[in-house]
């Protein structure tokens, strides 16, 4: 199996390294190899709560402040315990299910229980 990534423009896997770049054989798009290595590091980034504790999949956390749910009149109350979190990439690092539904939360509003 090839270690070269799929083309970010056309998403086809006919790519090859050429010097410091990857090149797509189908659409001709070129992108730097260093950029691909940097995004690989983000996947292994450590997610920390508001107290600096490292969070892992399956941890239980507690909300440290009231959070308004965007596009709704629902408010997630401070002190609410959330079990079995899942870490995902992006701005909102924590995916969880609560009584009110599924939510994506920022780790800075959580502390490890």
User: Domain 1-44 maps to which CATH number in 3.40.309.10, 1.10.10.10, 2.60.40.420, 2.20.25.10?
Assistant: 2.20.25.10
CB-CB contact of 91 with 45 (8 Å) = no
Full-model pTM:
0.60
Question: What are the tens digits of pLDDT across the range 62-86?
Answer: 999 999 998 889 999 999 999 999 9
**pLDDT over 50 (residue 111):** yes
CATH number for the region 61-112 comes to: 2.30.30.40
| DSSP-assigned beta bridge partners for residue 95 | 86, 104
Question: What are the tens digits of pLDDT across the range 8-55?
Answer: 888 888 888 888 888 888 888 888 887 544 554 455 578 999 999 999
The pLDDT, as a whole number, for residue 61 is 96
Q: Which residue has the higher pLDDT, 39 or 99?
A: 99
Placement of tokens 């730097």 in the chain: 32
């Amino acid at each position: 199996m090839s270690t070269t990534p799929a083309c970010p423009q056309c998403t086809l896997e006919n790519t090859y390294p050429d010097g410091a770049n990857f090149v797509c054989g189908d659409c001709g798009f070129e992108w730097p190899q260093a950029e691909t290595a940097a995004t690989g590091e983000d996947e292994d980034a450590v997610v920390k709560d508001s107290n600096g504790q490292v969070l892992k999949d399956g941890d239980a956390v507690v909300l440290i402040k009231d959070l308004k749910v965007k596009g709704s009149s629902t408010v997630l109350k401070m002190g609410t315990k959330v079990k079995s979190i899942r870490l995902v990439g992006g701005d909102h690092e924590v995916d969880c299910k609560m009584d009110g539904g599924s939510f994506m939360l920022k780790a800075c509003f959580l502390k490890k229980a």
